[in-house]
Amino acid sequence: MDRFNNNMLLYRSVSLPELELIYDSGMKAFPARLPQQPIFYPVLELEYARQIASEWNAESGQSAGYVTQFKVDDPYIGQFEKHKVGESQHQEFWIPAEELEEFNRHIIGEIKVMEAHFGNEFQGFVPEKFGLQGKNAVSQFTLLTNSYIYKRMDFYLEIRRNHKAVFLNYPFWQKYDFKNPGLKEKILQAIRDAWLKSSPKIPLPMPVHEDTTPVKPTDSDSLADPDYEDVTPLEQTDSHPLVDPDREDSTLIKQTDSHFSQGLELGLSGKYHEAKDELSKTVEEDPNHVVAHTSLGVAFHRLGEDDRALSCYEAALRIDPTYAEAHYFRANILYSHGNVREAIAGYTIAMGLEPELIEAHQKSVPQDRLTDYPPSPAEMYWIAKPAHRILDLSKSLETNPRQASLFKERAADYYRLRNYVQAIADYSSYLSIQPDDASVLHFRGLAYEQIEQFDRALEDYQRAIVINPQLSDVYINRGVTFGKMGNFRQSIASLTEGIRLAPKNPDGYFNRGTAYLQQGDFERAIDDFSNVIRLSPGDEEAYYWRGISNEEAGRQRDAIADYRQFLAVSQNSQARDEIEQKLSQWNEGKRNSVSSQSVVPDDRQRTNQPPPTKPDQGPDLYDLMVALGERPLNSTWFASGVDCYGEKAEELYAFTDQNKPIEGRDLLQITSGIRQTIEGDFQAFDPGTASPWIFIRAWDGSGFYIETNDPRIKTQLKTYFQMTEEVEGASPPYEGLFITSDQTSK
C-alpha cells in the first residue's frame, strides 16, 4: 500500500471486457457489478493484483488480466475495513456492489493500466468498424504494420478511428513474439507517436513490469493470425451507470427537434448568433445528430469562428465518415485559409461520395439544414471534371443501361474520387455484360483492396490471371495484397512471378523487398532494394528502406551510406530532419533509433490505378517548355513513372525506363510528338548543379503540379497560362503552382 498526500493507492486486476468499460468511462470509473457479484475487491498490494491477473484472469474468460492502479481519497476509503485473505500481502477492501457508484466518485484522477498478462487463447478486443473490423489482435497489428509501410495515412486514420482496440490490445502487442522484433518496435513507436496526437488525454498502457516470457505466436513463420473468436463484453443491466439506456425519453426527443428546427429557421434568416445557441443545445441533447453538428459548423463559419466550425465538421465525420457535406464544408475552410492540399483531398472525397455537390452552388438553398456552397470546387478542374463526367455518364446510362463501356468509364472516375464502393458496383455491372475482361477484374480487385476486402481482391486477381496470365501488374498487386494480409510467403511468390514477367519494373522488387524485410530476411530485402536503385537511381524510398534493412542487419556503415544518399535525393524536409537526427545520434555514439514516424512518401503501388478516361486536349509538357523559354533547353532533365500517348511516346519511354538523362532540346523535340502526358515526374538541372530548378508532376491528365526555386519562373508561368493556382506546402526555397489542362494560352 502506498499513499499520495491524503489519497490511498489501490490496485485491481480486471478482465478485457471490464477494461473496455473502464476505457468507455474515460478511465474514470469501474463498471457496475453483475447480480452474481455482490462485492467489489480493490487490493492494497501490487504483487497481489499481479498474482490475480496472471493466475486467474489470464487463465480464464478472455485470457487476459490487466493490473490497474488508482487513487481514492483517504477519508472515504477509511470507512471500509481491510480484510486479509491468506498471506500477509493479500489485503483487500470489500466494497458492496451498491456502493460502487459512490466509490467511483471518490477516485482521484484516472485509472491507470500498469501491466498485463495473457493466456495462449487471447484473441483481443475485436472492433466492428473500419479496417480492423473482425480481426483478432495479431491480425490487427499485421494490418497496422502494412498500413504503415504501404499507406501511411490509413495507418494514422486507423489509430484514430479504432482507438479503443489500439488501447486494449497495445499491451499484448508489446509482449507478443512477432517474427521481426526490429520492425515490431518501429511500429510500436509509430503507434505511440500517433496516439499522442490523436488521444493525448488517455495515455497508452506502459507496463512497469515486463514478463520475460513473450506470448508465442501460433505460427512462428509469419505474422498471419490464428482464427479469432468473438469477444463479447459482460452483459450489462439497465442500472449500469456508464451505459446510456436504450430507450430515450420522448420529451427529450421533442425538445431536441424543437431546438434543431428553431436553429435552422434562425440560421436561414441570417441570425447566426441565435442559431448557434439553438444548434448547440441540439448537439448537447443528441450528440449523434450529424446534420446538427454540420449546421452548427456552418453557423460558426458565418460568424467568423472557423476553428470552432472545423471542430463541428470533424465531430460530424467521427459519427459518419461518409457524410459528404461535412467533408465539403470542412474543405471550404481549409481552402480559404491556404491549406490547398488538404482542401483538395476533402473536396475529392466529398465529390466521390456525392458528385451532385459540384453543382450545388447553382441550386436553391436547402431548407432542412444550413449549407456552405461556394463555387471554388467547381473551379478546380481536376476535381470538377470527374464529377461532371459521372453526372453525364449517369444520364447516358439512363438511356443505355446495357452499354458496358459507360460503366467502365464511370467506375474509373469514381475510383479517382476515392468512392471505391461505387467503383466496385460499376465494375461489377460492366463484368455482368463483359465477364472475361481481365483488366477490369484487375481494376475491381484494386478497388476491393482500397476498402480492405482482401479476399475479394484476391479472387479478382486470380480470375484475371486465368484469363490473361501475362499481366505482370496483377501478380504484383496480388503480392501486395498477400503482404497486407500477413501472408508473406505467398506475397513473395506472386511478386517473384510479376518480376519474371516485368524484370524492369522497380515496383515488383520494392514490394518484395518490404515482404522480405517484414519476414526478417534482411539480406534478400537489401538485394531487392538494390535492384530498385539499379533501375531507378533517384528512388528515395529505396535508399531509405535499404538503409533500414542494413540497420536491422547490423551494418551501420552501409546504413549510413544509404541514409546519406537518401538525403542527397530527397526534398522532403521532415524526412530529412528524421534521418539527420538519426545520423547525428550515431555520430555521438548513440545507437538508439530515432522516432519511427517516418514521413518518407509511402504510396508505392504505382500500378494500382485504373487508367484515366481520355482527357480533353489542353496544354501539355511541350507547352510548358515553350512557356519557360531558353532555360529548359539548356538544362538536363530526368523523368520517371511516365505514362503518355502520342507518336513519340516510345521514344520518351526509352529514356525514362532506364532513368537516362535527357538534354533539354531533345526533350522539346520528343514532347512535340506527345499528345497527352497522363502521369510522370520531370526534373530539370542547370549545368553543374546538384539540385533541380524545377520539378513537374503530371496529375492524372488533369494538369501539372510544379515546384520551382525561381520566383521569376513562377511569374512567367502565371502570365502564360490563364488557369493557374498557387499551392502551399512546398519545402523552401521551392514554391508550388498548379496548371490545369482546361484552358488556353494567353
pTM of the model as a whole = 0.49
Same domain, 32 and 48: yes
Phi and psi angles of residue 68, each rounded to the nearest 5 degrees, phi first? -105, 150
485-541 per-position pLDDT tens digit: 888 889 999 999 999 999 999 999 999 999 998 888 999 999 999 999 998 888 888
Same domain, 342 and 380: yes
Phi and psi angles of residue 297, each rounded to the nearest 5 degrees, phi first? -60, -40
Q: Does pLDDT of 167 surpass 70? A: yes
SS (H, E, C) 424-481: HHHHHHHHHHCCCCHHHHHHHHHHHHHCCCHHHHHHHHHHHHHHCCCCHHHHHHHHHH
Q: pLDDT value at position 123?
A: 93
Instruction: Mention every residue, 6+ apart, whose C-beta is less than 8 A from residue 8.
Output: 1, 71, 72, 73, 74, 77
Q: Where is the domain boundary, 88, 118, 148? A: 118
Question: Could you tell me if residue 260 is inside a domain?
Answer: yes
Q: Where is the domain boundary, 118, 151, 175? A: 118
Question: Could you tell me if residue 614 is inside a domain?
Answer: no
Q: How far apart are CA 388 and CA 354, in angstroms?
A: 11
353-381 per-position pLDDT tens digit: 888 888 888 888 888 899 988 876 655 65
Question: Could you tell me if residue 202 is inside a domain?
Answer: yes
8 Å CB contact between 393 and 380: no
Instruction: Assign residue 362 the CATH number of its domain.
Output: 1.25.40.10
Question: Could you give the number of structural domains in the chain?
Answer: 4
Top-confidence range, 2-11, 501-510, 590-599, 725-734 = 501-510
- Paired with 697 in beta bridges are 681, 705
| 343 band by pLDDT with thresholds 50, 70 and 90 | confident
Same domain, 105 and 56: yes
Q: Does pLDDT of 331 surpass 80? A: yes
Question: What are the C-alpha distances in Å from 319 to residues 25, 261, 293, 353, 660?
Answer: 18, 21, 10, 16, 50
8 Å CB contact between 97 and 39: yes
Same domain, 94 and 198: no
Q: pLDDT value at position 541?
A: 86
| 113 band by pLDDT with thresholds 50, 70 and 90 | very high
Average pLDDT over residues 405-411: 90
Phi and psi angles of residue 727, each rounded to the nearest 5 degrees, phi first? -125, 125
Say which DSSP state 373 is in: -
79-101 per-position pLDDT tens digit: 998 888 767 678 899 999 899 99
SS (H, E, C) 39-56: EECCECCHHHHHHHHHHC
Q: pLDDT value at position 414?
A: 84
Block residue for cell numbers 519511354? 653
How many other C-beta atoms can be found within 10 angstroms of the C-beta atom of residue 160? Answer: 15
Q: pLDDT value at position 240?
A: 34
DSSP 3-state assignment of 671? Answer: helix
Same domain, 101 and 182: no
Give the Cα-Cα-Cα angle 481, 485, 489 (nearest 5 degrees).
80
Say which DSSP state 600 is in: S
Same domain, 655 and 721: yes
Same domain, 39 and 151: no
Q: How far apart are CA 510 and CA 533, in angstroms?
A: 9
Same domain, 217 and 339: no
Cis peptide bond N-terminal to 96, omega within 30: no
Can you list the alpha helix ranges (DSSP code H) found in 36-112? 46-55, 74-77, 100-105
Question: Could you tell me if residue 615 is inside a domain?
Answer: no
Q: pLDDT value at position 500?
A: 94
Same domain, 220 and 146: yes
Block residue for cell numbers 539480406? 523
How many other C-beta atoms can be found within 10 angstroms of the C-beta atom of residue 473? Answer: 22
C-alpha 83: how far from chain center: 50
Q: How far apart are CA 674 and CA 652, in angstroms?
A: 9
Q: Does pLDDT of 714 surpass 50? A: yes
Instruction: Say which amino acid occupies 182.
Output: G
Question: Could you tell me if residue 610 is inside a domain?
Answer: no
Same domain, 151 and 51: no
Question: Could you tell me if residue 478 is inside a domain?
Answer: no
**Host domain of residue 95:** 2-118
Q: How far apart are CA 685 and CA 654, in angstroms?
A: 20
Q: Where is the domain boundary, 118, 149, 184? A: 118
Q: Does pLDDT of 214 surpass 60? A: no
Question: What are the C-alpha distances in Å from 82 to residues 7, 47, 86, 88, 694?
Answer: 16, 17, 13, 12, 75
Q: How far apart are CA 159 and CA 23, in angstroms?
A: 15
Same domain, 265 and 376: yes
Average pLDDT over residues 339-352: 76
| 329 band by pLDDT with thresholds 50, 70 and 90 | very high
Give the Cα-Cα-Cα angle 7, 10, 15 (nearest 5 degrees).
145
Residue 4: exposure state from Cβ atoms within 10 A (0-12, 13-18, ≥19): exposed
Q: Which three cell numbers stand for residue 704?
A: 501539372
Query: Which percentage of the chain shows pLDDT scores above 90?
Result: 32
Instruction: Assign residue 88 the CATH number of its domain.
Output: 3.20.170
Same domain, 144 and 91: no
Question: Could you tell me if residue 415 is inside a domain?
Answer: no
Q: Which helix (H) or strand (E) holds 740?
A: strand 735-740
Q: Does pLDDT of 244 surpass 70? A: no
Average pLDDT over residues 547-558: 90
Question: Could you tell me if residue 429 is inside a domain?
Answer: no
Q: Lowest mean pLDDT: which of 158-172, 236-250, 721-735?
A: 236-250
Block residue for cell numbers 486477381? 461
Question: What are the C-alpha distances in Å from 638 to residues 292, 345, 515, 602, 619?
Answer: 52, 28, 29, 21, 20
